[in-house]
Structure 1
């Protein structure tokens, strides 16, 4: 197994509703709103690369699905760390639960996303991701790993902030899996700060796995479960940045400890 080929012990059976599903009428209204939001995104064309446009389009998709976003930022700042003129961008690292993670974080602050190659082949969302400037990686391509790290370091040196999911695959909670170290090398090479972010999901305040996108589950099935979810909120907890001190292993471990500490306790 190589550095990208992470595997998860979570299966689609881990994804469960923690609250009653919405009515058939409400579900139909959500699908209609989603179609409109996606059509508007497609119509934006190359303008999706514009930060304001991307933020609005991502927020519109979440709103269409009835998803509320709550952002907690200890201290000052957003996802990216304020940088001096000519300074590097921020390596934003988050736990990975769902395809909704990307949309949610883009609705908070549009940044460059490093995503698995499969995302680029998804219907509807794939073309939108490409237009938004997403960088795709082949998780099975070990030989390409040094090139990916070098490209990521180059983006950071240019002052661009990049979002990565170091777990390498999705899990049902922030506490699962371990962080892969490769992307942290880019922060070390570029002297870029690392911003840990915890992403969690709840339904009517109860921690929920309904948004989890796991195993070999098809995108359509996952979308339907999310669209039918009642009272779904995604909480984004933005933690203080970490300086790129030490080696990539220590940096990855520090980031994962911070992110796990930001996850609320699960209900039994």
Structure 2
């Protein structure tokens, strides 16, 4: 691994632990089958149905499907804040630049969670292309894959993101570059994707993601949802379906208009502080201290 790649101190034994109620293995197994089946249905049906729909119809279908996937895995969804910013291609008038959607990164659950609120083209590491079920679905959804180990590939990735934004698309990026468990301050937002927003004249839509024990528990405990370090995907899937009462919370912050912040580093810092300041859903000290 290259020394410049983002790294997180989170580990599965230290962070990916559910300390709430647990489901019996039998209903948990049923949820696992249901979630995988609905994901597979999306992989099989997307090429047949999405081309037949207009932009608004595709967005509604993706939202419903993504929400259904989360519920099938036994995860409730709680959305707060104003409606998410819309890209030019998705708006009635069209022709305007798209929107760069940025969020903190906790889990593979973040992908359907963001899609349930503001579907867009994901920027993801190339490894995800090889994941079962989620990899083919990501490719079908127009995901922009980046080779994180190749620093020379970064300028081409920035150009690809800027091109998609100029075309009016929403592009979803997790600028921390790695998953963090959500119990501490998280990672620094890397500025590369923000350069693409500046080049395209696109607004930035910050989102704050957190996973709770229940809809009324406002403590930021990622627990079973955290997918960090070298955690196998199969182990994470089983941990999620065993966790009773798991709620995925996503807060939509006020968009940052294009051109209001000079430079990609300042824009990245503003987006990061906007995400981190969501009602201070963090404890006073990081669990990694």
**Superposed counterparts of 1:83-122, under 5 Å:** 85-122=94-131
2:78 aligned residue (70, 76, 81): 70
RMSD of the alignment, in Å? 2.0
> 2:126, 2:146 within 8 Å by CA — same for their partners in 1?
yes
Q: Secondary structure at the match of 1:207?
A: coil
Which structure 2 segments of 5+ residues have no match? 52-57
> 2:31, 2:241 within 8 Å by CA — same for their partners in 1?
yes
The structural deviation recorded for 1:2 is 6.3
2:238 aligned residue (224, 248, 254): 224
Whether 1:56 aligns to 2:70 is: no
Q: Secondary structure at the match of 2:102?
A: strand
> 1:81, 1:195 within 8 Å by CA — same for their partners in 2?
no
Q: Distance in 2 between matches of 1:7 and 1:73?
A: 30
The structural deviation recorded for 1:85 is 4.1
Q: Secondary structure at the match of 1:126?
A: helix
The structural deviation recorded for 1:80 is 2.9
- In structure 1, the residue matched to 2:55 is none
**Superposed counterparts of 1:1-268, under 5 Å:** 1=2, 5-13=5-13, 14-46=15-47, 47=49, 50-74=58-82, 77-80=83-86, 85-173=94-182, 175-204=185-214, 205=217, 206-209=219-222, 210-244=224-258, 245-262=261-278, 263-266=280-283
Q: Distance in 1 between matches of 2:123 and 2:3?
A: 17
The structural deviation recorded for 1:6 is 1.1
The structural deviation recorded for 1:165 is 0.5
Q: Secondary structure at the match of 1:113?
A: strand
Taking structure 2 as the reference length, what is the TM-score of the superposition?
Answer: 0.86
Output one character per residue of 1:201-238: Cα deviation in whole Å (capped at 9) or x when no partner.
10122432221111111100111101111101111101
The structural deviation recorded for 1:66 is 1.1
Number of aligned residues: 265
Output one character per residue of 1:179-202: Cα deviation in whole Å (capped at 9) or x when no partner.
111010001111111111100110
> 1:202, 1:233 within 8 Å by CA — same for their partners in 2?
yes
Q: Distance in 2 between matches of 1:34 and 1:119?
A: 18
Which structure 1 segments of 5+ residues have no match? none
Q: Distance in 1 between matches of 2:23 and 2:166?
A: 46
The structural deviation recorded for 1:33 is 1.5
Q: Distance in 1 between matches of 2:255 and 2:87?
A: 7
> 1:80, 1:92 within 8 Å by CA — same for their partners in 2?
no
Taking structure 1 as the reference length, what is the TM-score of the superposition?
Answer: 0.92
Q: Distance in 1 between matches of 2:36 and 2:198?
A: 42
The structural deviation recorded for 1:81 is 5.9
Closer, same or farther: CA 147–96 of 1 in aligned 2, 3 Å: same
